């Protein structure tokens, strides 16, 4: 069955948009699109042009709506393309304002900045405020990485020290991004860019297994070969 995005190919105005973008035109104007029609056109352009880009919109709510709509459309059309769609939220705080920032917001922002720093051809949806938020230098972000692979030789103490150095908080249970807990040879950590926490099991100093787990039931699930902790 054809995806909804495939039907755009027969739309003359859509073909003109593609041609203009490929030709490097600095301004292209499209009027009359609203709601899902706007999301569908943007997703279709991304799918056809196969390159990174930035979509800046007028509010955090509109950015989130565009992201949700485009994610559904791209997943139906081409799953790898869906994985290149990212949201860069604003911190929603004023400079030097002493408030606690939502950890999920920080996770989405850090994940997007990390993938941009690596040079991935992603498409980013944001607001003007989200794009202009000051952040750490690219070089520092790339250097602030802890890679853990199955079979690595790392002592329990070294792992704990590395997590503390990365500003992770030690808790009884890892229940939110940026937290970790220790029970014998098991270290549970919730990487700040992950949607689920990871259970690291050791045999001596060897990383014996890496598994996702459910923070509400503490039950392990899918096995992974490596994790990246920012």
Q: Are 188 and 174 in contact (CB under 8 A)?
A: yes
Report residue 99's pLDDT band, with 50, 70 and 90 as the boundaries: low
Given this model, what pLDDT does residue 79 score? 82
The answer, yes or no, to whether residue 230 has pLDDT greater than 90, is: no
How much is the pLDDT for 1?
A: 43
pLDDT at 102 over 80: no
Task: State which H helix or E strand residue 125 sits in.
Answer: strand 123-127
**Higher-pLDDT residue of 101, 44:** 44
Quick check: 196 and 104 in contact, CB under 8 A?
A: no
Q: H helices of the chain, where?
A: 12-22, 36-49, 60-77, 79-82, 103-117, 128-132, 138-143, 156-165
Spatial separation of the C-alpha atoms in residues 50 and 92, rounded to whole Å: 31
192 Cα distance to chain centroid: 10
Under the phi-then-psi rule, with left for phi > 0, alpha for psi from -120 to 50, and beta for the rest, what region is 181? beta
The encoded tokens of residue 119 equal 């040079």
**Among residues 151, 158, 150, which one has the least CA distance to residue 227?**
150
Question: Which secondary-structure segment (H or E) carries 213?
Answer: strand 206-213
The answer to whether 201 and 212 have CB atoms below 8 angstroms apart is no
Cβ atoms 226, 210 nearer than 8 A: yes
Mean pLDDT of the chain: 89
Q: Which tens digits make up the pLDDT trace of 27-69?
A: 888 888 888 889 999 999 988 888 889 999 999 999 999 999 9
Torsion 20-24-29-33 (CA) sign: positive
Q: Which residues, at least 6 apart from 181, have a Cβ–Cβ distance to it below 8 Å?
A: 170, 171, 172, 173, 174, 187, 188
User: 3-state class of 229 per DSSP?
Assistant: strand
- The per-residue pLDDT for 172 is 94
Sign for the CA dihedral angle at 71, 72, 77, 80 comes to positive
Instruction: Over range 163-188, report the average pLDDT.
Output: 92
């Amino acid at each position: 069955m054809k995806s909804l995005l495939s039907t755009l190919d027969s739309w003359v105005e859509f073909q003109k948009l593609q041609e203009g973008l490929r030709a490097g035109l600095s301004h292209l104007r499209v009027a009359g699109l609203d709601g899902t029609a706007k999301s569908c056109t943007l997703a279709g352009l991304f799918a056809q042009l196969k390159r990174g880009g930035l979509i800046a919109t007028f509010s955090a709510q509109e950015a989130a709506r565009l992201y949700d709509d485009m994610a559904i459309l791209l997943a139906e059309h081409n799953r790898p393309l869906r994985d290149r769609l990212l949201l860069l939220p604003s911190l929603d705080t004023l400079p030097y304002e002493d408030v606690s920032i939502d950890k999920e917001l920080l996770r989405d922002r850090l994940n997007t900045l990390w993938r941009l720093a690596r040079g991935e051809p992603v498409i980013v949806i944001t607001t003007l405020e989200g794009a202009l938020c000051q952040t750490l230098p690219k070089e520092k972000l790339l250097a602030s990485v802890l890679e853990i692979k199955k079979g690595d030789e790392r002592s329990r103490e070294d792992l704990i020290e590395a997590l503390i150095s990365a500003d992770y908080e030690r808790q009884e249970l890892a229940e939110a991004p940026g937290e970790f807990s220790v029970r014998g040879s098991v270290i549970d950590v919730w990487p700040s860019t992950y949607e689920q926490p990871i259970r690291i099991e050791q045999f001596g100093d060897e990383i014996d297994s890496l598994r996702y787990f459910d923070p509400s039931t503490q039950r392990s699930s899918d096995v992974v070969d490596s994790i990246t902790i920012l």
